[in-house]
Each structure stands twice: as structure tokens, then as C-alpha cells.
Amino acid sequence: MQIHQLNSDVTVLNDHLPVPTIGFLPVNAFVLHAAEPVVVDTGMSLPERGFMDLLGSVVDPEDVRWIWLTHPDRDHTGALFELLEAAPRARVVTTFISAGIMSTERPLPMDRLYLINPGQTLDVGDRTLTAFRPPLFDSPATVGFFDPHSGTCVASDCFGAPMSSPDLAESDDVRDVQADELRSAQLLWATVDSPWIHVADRDTYMRTVEPLRAMDPDVILSSHLPPVVGGTSACLDMLAVAPLADPYVGPDQKALEELLAGFEPAAPA
């Protein structure tokens, strides 16, 4: 994992995961340095990722007041309970559905919850965050937010893209990726992560883009993309053509057997 200090308001806690046949997927969490600090998501649920150590170098966990959980997928909740223990004043900001989903594995403490719906706001001391549902999402529990103080939009999985190399997955600026490569990768991710895009009514879907257009953010933060600074127009253009992208078809059993045949068996210990 690595730290990207995006500006005085936002720090990116960046990790990535190699995904066979897809590429190298960035997995980001964020710290919003508000008067009441906000941690957005808590990394992957894989051992020894070092999320808490990295977070502790950016903000004292005891100062954290809010943990904004964009949705309860395991690549967003890895250190959630560790952080709740280390941040005794923090509350988890998420949706009712998200809390319900998490209750099937490890329930969130009810007195540490702050339930929010798209369109509602959260006062974090020196600014007010407005919750919204991004146009593309893979969970009904998804809720991002817009911070008008810094012009930052947190879009959860929306706008994600698998990168062609680990270096690009670790980048602190999406402009490091060639524009045509970025567009192709974002469209691929849209069809992988939001396959409903091909069956949704297009006019209805496009109406969900309008709130984001009205925000006109200076910065877009996606869980699965290097930070976007000043690139909102290109991101909105991508959303408009996502329904026309080819549907994603994943590898089948034959492809898996061919993939496994290329690996040498591990030597006995």
C-alpha cells in the first residue's frame, strides 16, 4: 500500500489487486481532512495489507469521527472493525441496506451507526457532505458523497478501471493513463461491475447522471481508479456510452483449465 497526498483536503490510501484476464485493479480508501476527520472505506479483507499502519501515518485513529462505508463489499471493509476499536468516537456512515448485509457476517454495533440515504447530508464540522448514489454501482447499498468545500466527489466503484500495470494501478493521477486506454478500461469495468447497464432503460439511466453533472466536481475519487483531477467531462462522456459497450463474458471452465496448465506445481515444503 502507498499514500498519495492529493491536496490539503484528501489523502488517498492506495492498494491494488491483480485480476486474471482483467488487469491490475486499484483499490482505494480515502481520508477527508475535515474538522471531524472522515475515513472512506477501510481497504481489502486480505491478510497483512497494513491498512491500519498506513492510516495511522496519515491521521490519529482516535481523532477519526466518521467512517463512510460506500458499500459492504469485502474490498471496502477490510479493517472496519479494527478501526472502530481504535477510533472510539467514530461512527459508521452507511445505508440501512448496507448495515443489514453486514449483519449476515459480523453485525455493526447499532450505537456506532449513522444511517444515511442519497440526498441527505452529514455535517463534519467545517463542511457538509451530500450523499448520492453514483450512476454505476454493483450494490444496492452504495452511497457516495459530494464535498462542495473541496469540490470532491467520492463515487465508490463508479468510474473504476483495471490498469495494464501495477505502476498505473498505484498512480496518483489518472492522467498517467493514455486517454484511449483509460476509456476502454472504464467501459470494461462498467460491464463487469454493473452488468445491468445493458438491460436498464437508457433514458432513465441517463437521468441518474444529471446530479453528478450538476455537481461539476473538481476531483473525482473512485475506489478503483487513480484520482481524477479536472477530468469530469471525460468521465461523464464515458457514462453516456457505457450502455453501448460489449457485455462482459468471463472465463469459463475450459479457460480456467488452460490457465492452470500454465502454472508449475508448487515444490513440496
Instruction: Delineate the domains of the chain, giving CATH numbers in brackets.
Output: 2-254 (3.60.15.10)
Quickly state the pLDDT bin for 258 (edges 50, 70, 90): confident
pLDDT in tens, 65-121: 999 999 999 999 999 999 999 999 999 999 999 999 999 999 999 999 999 999 999
- CA–CA distance, 114 with 123 (Å, rounded to integer): 12
What are the DSSP calls for 229-251, one per residue? Answer: ES-HHHHHHHHHHGGGSPPP---
What value does the mean pLDDT take over residues 216-232? 96
Q: Report the share of the chain in percent with pLDDT over 90.
A: 91
pLDDT at 161 over 90: yes
pLDDT in tens, 46-72: 888 899 999 999 999 999 999 999 999
What value does the mean pLDDT take over residues 186-195? 97
Vertex 187 angle, CA 185 and 191, to 5°: 115
What value does the mean pLDDT take over residues 157-179? 97
Quickly state the pLDDT bin for 262 (edges 50, 70, 90): confident
Over the range 250-267, which residues count as b (16 or more CB within 10 Å of their CB) and which as e?
eeeeeeeeeeeeeeeeee
Contacts by 117-124 with C-beta closer than 8 Å and gap 24+? 117/143, 118/143, 122/66, 122/93, 124/32, 124/34, 124/35, 124/36, 124/38, 124/65, 124/66
196 in helix, strand or coil?
helix
pLDDT at 5 over 80: yes
pLDDT at 124 over 80: yes
Q: What pLDDT does 263 receive? A: 74
What value does the mean pLDDT take over residues 189-200? 97
- CA–CA distance, 186 with 43 (Å, rounded to integer): 21
